[in-house]
Amino acid sequence: ETGVTQTPRHLVMGMTNKKSLKCEQHLGHNAMYWYKQSAKKPLELMFVYNFKEQTENNSVPSRFSPECPNSSHLFLHLHTLQPEDSALYLCASSQGVSSGANVLTFGAGSRLTVL
Amino acid sequence: AQKVTQAQTEISVVEKEDVTLDCVYETRDTTYYLFWYKQPPSGELVFLIRRNSFDEQNEISGRYSWNFQKSTSSFNFTITASQVVDSAVYFCALSEGGSNYKLTFGKGTLLTVNP
């Protein structure tokens, strides 16, 4: 596979469930990101990892827990979510975070519905 | 704080028409980067172009062209002879200086090209 792959593409969960979103990049990039895309709102940066280290947590509630075991994989663990957390969660990667010339490559997203 | 405004929420055109998507940005930095991404129905954001603040030359790539004007803080995107496959949501984004990963996105413009 090439590019950035996200699984599952669709997820429906109850407010008491625990689930995880997975992202894998095959680009040899060192930085990975989680973005949230809600209806009629701009994309919101959630987390940034650079060389497996978290460099950004954009005031995300603790019910979202990221994990980056290596530069190629990124997870978003979900627990005790609220209906307003329903959104498209996009994963992205880039070569690094230190150069303004880097371009983000996005996955197709995981569409999450919280009942 | 940086901001990106895409005033056009939705645009509908007939195939072969030219269409311009507007983008106005705000930033206090003198060094910044501007981007356009395309999000087709499949979900992933596809990178189209990146410009830095020191390069005001307009760019043309096939049917796509971009007009960057610092005097009006605008970075508009024109599709010439639109096609049905151009139907997507288009996002303009801005990153400041060294924080390339902190993309500030506009709310997007939904372009529908009808046959």
Do residues A31 and A44 lie in contact, with contact meaning Cβ atoms separated by under 8 Å?
A: no
Counting residues of chain A whose pLDDT is more than 70, the rounded percentage is: 94
Q: What's the confidence (pLDDT) of residue B21?
A: 98
Q: Are strands A31-37 and A44-50 parallel, antiparallel or unpaired?
A: antiparallel
pLDDT tens-digit map of B89-101: 999 999 886 665 6
pLDDT tens-digit map of B17-48: 999 999 999 998 888 899 999 999 988 999 99
Contacts of B26 in chain A (CB under 8 A): none
d(C-alpha B92, C-alpha B88), whole Å: 13
Instruction: Specify the 3-state DSSP secondary structure of A3.
Output: coil
Q: What's the confidence (pLDDT) of residue B75?
A: 97
Q: What's the confidence (pLDDT) of residue A1?
A: 58
Is the predicted pLDDT of residue A63 greater than 60, yes or no?
Answer: yes
Tokens encoding B112: 């529908």
Q: What's the confidence (pLDDT) of residue A41?
A: 85
Contacts of A4 in chain B (CB under 8 A): 44
CB B33 to CB A43 under 8 A?
A: no
Q: What's the confidence (pLDDT) of residue A99?
A: 57
Interface of A with B in 58-87 (CB under 8 A): none
Q: What's the confidence (pLDDT) of residue A81?
A: 93
Q: Which residue, among A48, A58, A104, would best test binding to B if mutated, counting the most B CBs under 10 Å from its CB?
A: A104
Is the predicted pLDDT of residue A70 greater than 90, yes or no?
Answer: yes
Q: What's the confidence (pLDDT) of residue A73?
A: 97
Which region holds residue A100: left if phi is over 0, alpha if psi is between -120 and 50, else beta?
A: alpha
What are the counts of helices (DSSP H) followed by strands (DSSP E) for chain A? 0, 11
Residue A99 has its nearest CB partner, among B100, B102, B107, at B100
pLDDT tens-digit map of A15-55: 888 999 999 999 999 999 999 999 878 899 999 999 999 98
Q: What's the confidence (pLDDT) of residue A95?
A: 87
Burial B27-61 (b: 16+ CB within 10 A, else e): beeeebbbbbbbbeeebbbeebbbbebeeeeeeee
Q: What's the confidence (pLDDT) of residue A100?
A: 59
pLDDT tens-digit map of B37-84: 999 998 899 999 999 888 888 889 999 999 999 999 999 999 999 999
Is the predicted pLDDT of residue B102 greater than 90, yes or no?
Answer: no
d(C-alpha B112, C-alpha A48), whole Å: 33
In whole numbers, what is the pLDDT of chain A averaged over residues? Answer: 91
Q: What's the confidence (pLDDT) of residue B99?
A: 60
Do residues B104 and A42 lie in contact, with contact meaning Cβ atoms separated by under 8 Å?
A: yes
CA distance A30 to chain B (A): 12
Q: Which residue of B has its CA nearest to A42?
A: B107
